[in-house]
Every structure is written in C-alpha cells, then in structure tokens.
Amino acid sequence: MTISGSETSSQSLFTEHFKTLEEPRRTTKGNFKYPLDEILFLTISSIISGWFEEWEDITYFGENNLTWLQKFYPYQNGIPSHDVLNRLFNRLNTKEFNTCFMKWVNSIAIKSDNNVVAIDGKTIRGMASNFGDSKLHIVSAFCSKNGLSLGQVKVGDKTNEITAIPELLDLIAIKGCIVTIDAMGCQKEIAKKIKEQEADYILMVKENQAELKEQVEKVFRIQKPETSNVEEDLGHGRIEKRTCEVIKKLDFLDTKENWKGLQCIIKIAPERTIKRTGLYSCETRFYISSLDQNAQLINNSIRSHWTIENNLHWSLDVIMKEDGQHNYIGNAAENMNMMKKIALGMLTNEKSIKSSKARKMKKALMNKDYRELVLKV
C-alpha cells in the first residue's frame, strides 16, 4: 500500500500496521482516483464520529470534513462515492485485513499473565435477512482486561465454531492467558491446543458433552469442594451472588486423561434478585479447567468471559448498529466488522474522559481535536 500523505507518526495506524495490506484494485490502468490509505482513514474517522450506518453516511461525513481530512492525506480527487466504498471493502482480502488488524491490537494491548481471553461467536443478522439463508457468523477473541478484540475468524458455510476456534487460536498470542469458551468449544482438541500454546483453559460443560457433564455432576454429588469463593454485587437495581466451588481431586472423574492439562472441575451458582420486583433466579453451570489456582481467580475469570457479550457484541449491536445494516456485499460485511472493532478499540483506549463509547463518538463528531485524540493523529 502506498502512503500518499505526509510521512509522520501521526498516521501510524495505517502506515505502520496496515502497510502490508494489498490494494485489490487495478491501479495502473483505468480511472484510479482514491488511494486505499485515504479510504481507510476516511472510514475509520467516520465510524469514530458515528457516521457509518450506510455507505452514503461515510461519503457525507467526508464531504463535510474534507479540509480536516486533508491535514493527514491529500484527497486530491475529493471524497469517494458510496459505490466506490462498497466495491473496495467487498474486494479487500479479509485474511490480510485481519492480520493487519491483529498487528495493531498487539501494539496497544497491555500484556500480563492471567489475562482472560474470551472466545465466542456472533451472527450478523442484517446479512442473514439481506441474503436469505446466507448468514455471516464470526468467532472473535476478546481480552477483557484491555477491552480489545484480538482477532476473528469467519465460520464457513459447511463448518461450525468447533472448526473455527482452533484456526483462531493459531492466529492470536495466548501464552500465559486464561482462555474461556462456552460449551461449543468444550472439545478435547481445543483444550489440547490451548495447553500446547502455554495457556490455560476454562471450558463450559453442557449437553453437547453429555457424558462429561454427567461425570462432573456425579463428582459434585459425592465429593465436597476443596475451595470456594463467593462474590456479591448490589448495583444496577439487583442483588447478585456468585458462588464458585472447585474440586481438584478427580479420582472419581472417568476419562479425565482425555482432557490435556485438566486440573479441576467447577460449579458456579449465580443467584440474582431484582430489587424492585423481588424476582429470584439461579442457574447452576459446570466447567472444566487446567487451572490449579484458588477459587477466587476462577470465579473472576468466568465472570470476565461475559465481557465479550457485554462489551463487544453488545457494542457492535447497539452502538455500531451492526445487525441493522443490509447494504454489504461479499467481503464488505466482514471487513467493516473489523473496522468497527478497530473503532471500539480506539474509543476504549482513549482514557482522557470517563464516558460511554456512544458519548465519546458524539464528542468526536463535534470536536475535531478530540477526534484526533481518539485516532492518535
């Protein structure tokens, strides 16, 4: 990718981390007006500022902020049309884009032992409604401590998350981390791969591993937990109590040798009472883990898993309105999913004000100095 603007560190997002991204269009013939780096910078700036629901929104944002954009890139031919944007993002190689995305994430992520890396899948519903039975399902890895998406893999039409998760694990650096996955990822080969990458796992056990679930429940019936931990939360109009019980002595757990590095089994009993109505609920869940640690760390790690739902998937649905967009074709949906994750990461990483991502986006729209602060330009 050729950099068309001034060679300054202010453009480090696309000059440093995305410089290996290949231009998918023919540049030597025809009417080539809009360089790739200009389009990427325009798009991320528009998303940061809340203009992203339609391709026309990005064009509109650019036309009304052309002088500001020209501080960083020439934009000699002005702002590309919505058709140019759609065709470009449709043709961008998703694997190359994901590789560049992960380089950028690794440059800003704070690395430490016992970071929880939550892995989970999400279907982009707008794609499903737009293309009939063709659904775009993406498995993402999310670091709860940093609030950053670490990478993603698209689930193929004839596969599922079981095959996508190992592919994702091969892409991301998880050494020293605790990888948490819901029941779909409770597979012997996935546990083995995590341990081979010098990480630990906590895997939810449900009916898809019926024999294992039966065995875990049996052990908890006949054995007392060696350690336990209780956490309480009285905020947000509800009373929550999470009891975590851990058994490390696994003599009565059949086939435990099939799970590489297995150290303990876990029972979580989350209780919730709504203060206003008094409505009470409790659903017991079971897990297996390679951790040989205290129950408090395990309890906190399992709770941290849900940040991928609350902080990433919720943000994509509600703040980025991903499920309501129907104008993507080909690779555009997956590539724009990554662009939005970059934007969410930037908004999370901007610490000068304590505010929601939605409010930060409004401020970025109205205040160009703050927009530059988020973009680090």
Q: Burial, 208: exposed, middle or buried (Cβ in 10 Å; 0-12, 13-18, 19+)?
A: middle
Q: Domains of the chain by range and CATH?
A: 9-93+350-375 (no CATH), 97-313 (3.90.350.10)
Task: Please spell the DSSP secondary structure of 230-246, one letter per residue.
Answer: EEEE--TTEEEEEEEEE
Dihedral angle at the C-alpha atoms of 123, 125, 130, 133, nearest 10 degrees? 50
Contacts with 53 (C-beta within 8 Å, 6 or more apart), sequence order: 321, 324, 325
Kindly report, residue by residue over 233-253, the tens digit of the pLDDT: 877 677 888 999 999 999 999
And the tokens for 271? 């209780």
Kindly report, residue by residue over 112-143, the tens digit of the pLDDT: 677 899 999 988 765 543 444 456 889 999 99
Kindly report, residue by residue over 11-64, the tens digit of the pLDDT: 556 667 888 888 888 777 666 789 999 999 999 999 999 988 889 999 999 999
- Alpha helix (H) ranges present in the chain? 12-16, 36-48, 55-64, 66-69, 82-91, 94-108, 125-130, 161-171, 188-196, 210-222, 295-305, 307, 314, 332-349, 357-366, 368-375
Q: What confidence score (pLDDT) does residue 4 get?
A: 37
What is the C-alpha to C-alpha distance for residues 275 and 289, in angstroms, rounded to an integer? 34
Q: What is the mean pLDDT of residues 301-306?
A: 93
Q: What confidence score (pLDDT) does residue 130 get?
A: 42
And the tokens for 172? 């991301």
pLDDT band at 284 (very low <50, low <70, confident <90, very high): very high
pLDDT band at 75 (very low <50, low <70, confident <90, very high): very high
The model's pTM is 0.86
Of 300, 172, 341, the residue nearest 349 (C-alpha): 341
Q: Tell me if 161 sits within 8 A of 121, measured CB to CB.
A: yes
Task: Please spell the DSSP secondary structure of 90-123, one letter per residue.
Answer: HHS-HHHHHHHHHHHHHHHPPP-TT-EEEEEEEE
And the tokens for 317? 């649905």
Q: Which residues of 115-137 are buried (b: 16+ CB within 10 A; e: fewer)?
A: bbbbbbbbebbbbbebeeeeebb
Q: What percent of the chain has pLDDT over 70?
A: 89
Of 217, 216, 225, the residue nearest 243 (C-alpha): 225
